[in-house]
């Protein structure tokens, strides 16, 4: 009997540590899908000290949001507003979880996203997503690979890598480093203006990275109707595309399930 109790305790502990990473970070995307029936409302505010940007875009703050629904097991879709290089536009994403850490030792999802504002802010974009992650005890690692191509008959393409590495202090609180970099790999637009005979006026990639913290403030909010109120924050640096600037950036988000 004692051996049985010990075995059950060990299995329960292992199950807790094998739970999927099913909540998006501020820059990286979750490799697992929440349980069936979940509806999640999220809002994000981004602020930067950079007053420039692509095509002279001004503004130091951006607000976006989304609503996600999991209609069947392992399948999630969401719609909302997406911020990219100084401009906002509607977006839609769908992803399907292929592998689960509880069964195969790793969370893996594949999906697609459509954005009316892409890496070139004058064009829409379709992105193909491959999301992977794993928990090693209290350590969490997430890696995303994204391939995007422009819509509307244009030939622009880009690749994006996102990653998170952090420590989970308990089931409600984690902290680590979150980052993303996006790079052109195809003809996207006319060559950028030059500062001199051979010096281009700006970089051809977009980078954001910094320390991030995630905290589920409350598991139950308003009885059975709302739960899992989460807040996240990041303070880091950004190097916007088509500029030579390195700017401070801050991102804050909140989400709730119902």
**Cα 83 to Cα 64: distance, rounded to the nearest angstrom:** 7
Give residue 1's pLDDT.
Answer: 44
Burial class (CB in 10 A: 0-12, 13-18, 19+), 164: buried
Give residue 240's pLDDT.
Answer: 83
Domain ranges for the chain, please list them.
Answer: 2-257
pLDDT: is 192 or 236 the higher one?
Answer: 236
Give residue 226's pLDDT.
Answer: 87
| % the chain with pLDDT above 90 | 55
Give residue 191's pLDDT.
Answer: 47
| % the chain with pLDDT above 70 | 78
Looking at every residue in the chain, the average pLDDT score rounds to: 83
Least confident residue range of 17-21, 30-34, 166-170, 192-196: 192-196
User: Do residues 238 and 249 lie in contact, with contact meaning Cβ atoms separated by under 8 Å?
Assistant: yes
> What's the first-to-final CA gap in the chain, in angstroms?
40
Give residue 130's pLDDT.
Answer: 98
pLDDT tens string 162-186: 999 999 999 999 999 999 999 988 6
pLDDT tens string 91-141: 999 999 999 999 999 999 999 999 887 777 677 889 999 999 999 999 999
Give residue 55's pLDDT.
Answer: 45
**Cα 159 to Cα 163: distance, rounded to the nearest angstrom:** 14
User: Do residues 233 and 47 lie in contact, with contact meaning Cβ atoms separated by under 8 Å?
Assistant: no
Give residue 244's pLDDT.
Answer: 85
Q: Which of 110, 146, 132, 104 is nearest to 18 (CA)?
A: 104
Give residue 187's pLDDT.
Answer: 58
CATH code of domain 2-257: 2.40.160.40
């Amino acid at each position: 009997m004692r051996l049985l109790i010990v075995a059950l305790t060990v299995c329960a502990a292992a199950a807790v540590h094998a739970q999927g990473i099913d909540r998006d970070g501020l820059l990286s995307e979750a490799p697992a899908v929440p349980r069936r029936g979940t509806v999640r409302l999220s809002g994000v505010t981004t602020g930067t000290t950079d007053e420039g940007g692509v095509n002279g875009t001004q503004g130091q703050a951006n607000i976006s949001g989304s609503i996600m629904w999991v209609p069947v097991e392992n399948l999630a879709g969401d719609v909302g507003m997406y911020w990219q290089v100084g401009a906002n536009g509607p977006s839609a994403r769908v992803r399907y979880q292929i592998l689960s850490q509880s069964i195969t030792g790793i969370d893996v999802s594949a999906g697609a996203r459509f954005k009316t504002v892409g890496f070139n802010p004058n064009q829409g974009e379709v992105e193909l997503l491959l999301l992977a992650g794993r928990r090693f005890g209290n350590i969490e690692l997430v890696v995303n690979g994204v391939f995007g191509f422009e819509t509307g008959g244009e030939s622009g393409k880009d690749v994006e890598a996102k990653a998170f590495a952090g420590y989970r202090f308990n089931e409600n609180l984690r902290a680590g480093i979150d980052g993303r970099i996006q790079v052109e790999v195809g003809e996207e637009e006319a060559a950028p203006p030059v500062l001199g005979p051979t010096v281009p006026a700006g970089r051809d990639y977009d980078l954001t990275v910094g320390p991030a913290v995630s905290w589920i403030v409350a598991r139950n909010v308003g009885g059975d109707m709302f739960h899992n109120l989460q807040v996240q924050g990041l303070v880091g640096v950004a190097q916007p595309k088509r500029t030579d600037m390195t700017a401070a950036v801050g991102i804050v988000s909140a989400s709730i399930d119902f």
